[in-house]
Structure 1
Amino acid sequence: MKVRLLEGEMQLLKTLEKLGGEAYDKRLTSEIGWPPDKVTTMALNMSERGIVNVSSEEEVWIWLTDEGLRYARIGLPERRILEQAVVKGEVEVSKLEGVEDWEKPIGLAWLRRKGWGVIRGGRIKVVGEFPKGADEKLIELIASKGKVRLTELPDELRKAVKTLKSRRLVEAGKVTRRLISLTELGWGVLRGEVEVLEEVSRLTRDLIVSGR
């Protein structure tokens, strides 16, 4: 059996061999030093000739918005309000410190919603316990990593994504990644079991028709 390789394809095959026979496109890009588009295009062309397999999967990534990054540094408004109320026993809304006027309604609403306190007569009184919530844990995690895959999050944190999106503290986006793996033909090329015709810079119509 014979196979004709285009310029650079043998390098891609050898890199896959070094990586155990399969690798994601991002890893190949890093190993070879090519632009991502070049790796993807070459792999898809090789898959049409049965030299490699290419399977695609979509990943959802989560990252913090500018406001989310701010809260990662200084804390959610309800947490900052809570901390002042805990220290003083209770605190007047008008005397809250370190909380912007536009944040106060948001922080007070979430304080009540989380069962951390009650507001009567313009004063905040704390009640119950105040454990760190999944929303706060998720903000900390994303801040430490820059962005995270949705599938890597435990159920508790995954549920918090919807909450933080509604507060416009995180955004989500889909990224396609491709797993490229050697076929039997590809392994045969590397083992010398398949005759390799000289590498060419591109396949011409004549080469395709003639099969040379």
Structure 2
Amino acid sequence: MELSYQEKVTLIKLKNLRKAKFEDLVKETGLDQVAVMRAVLWLQSKGLARLHEKQKKIVRLTEAGKRYAEIGLPERRALKLLAERGKITLNDLKEVLSDDELKPIVGILRREGWATVRKENGELVLEITERGKMSLNESRPIDRVLKILAERGEVEAKEIEGLIPLNE
């Protein structure tokens, strides 16, 4: 059976390694990725090697995600302002939130138990709760995931699936 130089090098390294990740095989052979892939495919077609493919789901931040990693999630920024002042109006939140971020914030702060909401002089007033004060120093799963993604750029989905539910 006739083998090319790349096939011979790849086969010898595979024999020594027995099983190898593609990246490791490229490193060991000293060949470029295309040459190694071509060699492995030819070796497989000749019955001398077997290629196992494994798909990975990768998670990375969008532009909005990168922005929030930098300036903080809207609910965190709102909570910080609330903690500084004790109570605020919806208008006060415009100092730290965009109009799009402002719309769902009251519901989020209430759902998390971070603020109570009431009407005072015709305006919505938010007041920080004890839970809100305690949450200032606590990290939620979404906060941890955002930090991980900001630090590492991209992460395999299985690494963070235990922290937050991932949608396709």
What TM-score do you get using the length of structure 2 for normalisation?
Answer: 0.81
* Preserved CA contact (<8 Å) 1:77 1:106: no
The answer for unaligned runs of 5 or more in structure 2 is none
Aligned to 2:6: 8
1:124 to 2:126 alignment: yes
Instruction: Give CA-to-partner distance per residue, 1:33-61, whole Å, 9 cap, x none.
Output: 413x4322321220122221211111111
Cα separation, 2, equivalents of 1:15 and 1:153 = 34
Instruction: Give CA-to-partner distance per residue, 1:93-141, whole Å, 9 cap, x none.
Output: 1012222222111333322222221322221112224132111110101
AA aligned to 2:83 is V
Cα separation, 2, equivalents of 1:39 and 1:114 = 52
* Preserved CA contact (<8 Å) 2:40 2:49: yes
AA aligned to 2:82 is A
AA aligned to 2:21 is Y
Structure 1 residues 33 and 8: CA distance shift in structure 2, 3 A? closer
Where 1:23 maps in the other structure, the secondary structure is coil
* Preserved CA contact (<8 Å) 1:142 1:148: yes
> Once the 2 structures are TM-superposed, how far is the Cα of residue 87 of structure 1 from its aligned partner?
1.5
Structure 1 residues 108 and 39: CA distance shift in structure 2, 3 A? farther
Cα separation, 2, equivalents of 1:158 and 1:14 = 44
- For residues 41-52 of structure 1, the aligned pairs below 5 Å read 41-52=38-49
Aligned to 1:100: 98
Which is strand-richer, 1 or 2? Answer: 1
Over the residues paired in the alignment, what is the CA RMSD in angstroms? 2.1
Structure 1 residues 153 and 95: CA distance shift in structure 2, 3 A? closer
Cα separation, 2, equivalents of 1:117 and 1:147 = 34
> Once the 2 structures are TM-superposed, how far is the Cα of residue 158 of structure 1 from its aligned partner?
4.0
Cα separation, 2, equivalents of 1:33 and 1:100 = 51
> Once the 2 structures are TM-superposed, how far is the Cα of residue 17 of structure 1 from its aligned partner?
4.7
The answer for unaligned runs of 5 or more in structure 1 is 163-171, 173-212
> Once the 2 structures are TM-superposed, how far is the Cα of residue 152 of structure 1 from its aligned partner?
2.4
- For residues 113-152 of structure 1, the aligned pairs below 5 Å read 113-121=111-119, 122-127=124-129, 128=131, 129-130=134-135, 131-152=138-159
Larger-Rg structure: 1
How many correspondences in the alignment?
Answer: 157
